[in-house]
Chains A and B, each alone.
Chain A
Amino acid sequence: MAIYKLVKDPLSGKTDGVMKTISTTDDGGHRYLCIPFCPDNIDYQEYLSWVSDGNTADPAD
């Protein structure tokens, strides 16, 4: 499982963001970022850098 997973718009079905898992805890806690495909967003810039390093995000549900 990759740290990134693509996110689709539930209505249009278009992939327009990515979810990044930051951490999980034993009691079911889950910290994650929902990152828009926005060029000015530094989390998106970090995701693009991760992809350019040869990684691939998990597909959206």
Chain B
Amino acid sequence: MSTLKVDAIRHNSATSDAITTASDGTCTAKVSNTRFSNIIVNGGMLISQRGSSFAVADGSEKYTLDRYYMDFGGGFAGGCTITQDSDSPSGFANSLKLDVTTANTSIGASHHNHLIYRIEGQDLLNSGWDHTSSSSYITCSFWAKSVKAGTYYLAARTAPGTDYTWFKGYTLAANTWKKVTISIPGNSNITINDDNAKGMDLRWVFGLGSSKVGTAETWSTNLYYGASDQANLFDSTSNNFWLTGVQLVASGYQDYAPDFEHRSYGEELARCQRYYYFHVGGPNTFSSASTEPVICLFHMWNTGSAFGYIDFPVSMRTSPSADFNLGTDRVKCQSAGTEDFCNVITINGGQTHPNATRPYIYGDLNYTAGNAGLAFLNNNDAYVAFTAEL
């Protein structure tokens, strides 16, 4: 029996050690296929509860695929459509596709355009990243592809207290998937709280005005999002951009990203439902919707109004807003052998909690007080959803 005694092991072409040994008999290793907990929800772009296609422009910024918000900051001109797409690198089935539909060839000085992912502070503070230390890193990795070759930037922006931004560039060849790895250092000036509010966001930048560019890899309060070589993806309607495999982990090393943590559809959907829960919808809405789906059970409080109960499948981030698409006779009620129609469901704030809510159903109902019943959607476009986004 023999013993190999070395202080480190490194590949011939590598610039850092893969394994370092310590005098106490332990070692530290960069193992690329070890599972780390990915902070990002829906990194594989599996979930799109709000719909299948999202037209976005200045004034109509919105959440698109679950957790990804498209922003046209400062009045950025142009427009795009975001969809869930099957074009993806090996090992993935989906991507987020940004299709430029209205060009912007002259970006205003203060304008900025980016796709944003917002992260709760408590998820960052419990990740293993020391956000106050410049020698501690949290690493974002993702796969990207663009019709337009060039340099793009990934920016991070902290939220509590004074906002700070940090960014680093990456280059893409035209129409070629590339895995990008960017490590974000901590900084003693930034603040992230251990709570359910936004601690930091990540921004994939697609266009920047001249007053929004600065020096890369520096935390700053100037709210710059990239450098002057940032490509303008919006300069042609021929341009598309794809993104998938988004991961954020505190691996303990700079520029080191472990393999992507693939999750099942069900697991990823449950994580998304912390922020947005599509309860029921007609056939023209989310793909799991059906004709006349049940909204809830109810009991008649008096002859003209009823209270129901909706239980959320997971605890939401905070008391959610109810998102209703209803209208004339879009709710059908059944009770005591008869059907009736009503127009309105409201939810008052005092009866809304992260786990459940009490809808108030009224408008043209006429049942006996105390009766039980079922409420259904009665329109192909109608839906009931709940949102507790950041």
Contact = CB atoms under 8 A, between A and B. Distances in A.
> Are A and B co-members of a single complex?
yes
Contacts of B327: 24-25, 27-30
Interface in A8-54: 8-10, 12, 14, 16-19, 24-25, 27-38, 40-44
B171 interface: no
A41 B321 contact: yes
Nearest to B118: A42
Contacts of A29: 325-327, 330, 379, 381-382
Contact of A17 (B324, B350, B388, B389): B350
B324 A31 contact: yes
B348 interface: yes
A10 B348 CA distance: 8
Interface in B287-326: 301, 305, 317-326
B39 interface: no
A25 B330 CA distance: 13
Contacts of B351: 9
Contact of B346 (A12, A19, A41): A19
Interface string B323-358: 111111110000000000000001111111000000
B197 A7 contact: no
Contacts of B196: 40
Contacts of A36: 319-321, 347-350, 352
B387 interface: yes
B320 A41 contact: yes
B349 A38 contact: yes
Contacts of A32: 324, 326
Given A7-B349, A9-B350, 14 more contacts: A10-B305, A10-B348, A17-B347, A17-B350, A17-B352, A18-B349, A25-B327, A31-B324, A31-B325, A35-B349, A36-B352, A37-B349, A41-B318, A43-B321
Interface of B: 196-197, 301, 305, 317-330, 346-352, 360, 379, 381-382, 387-390
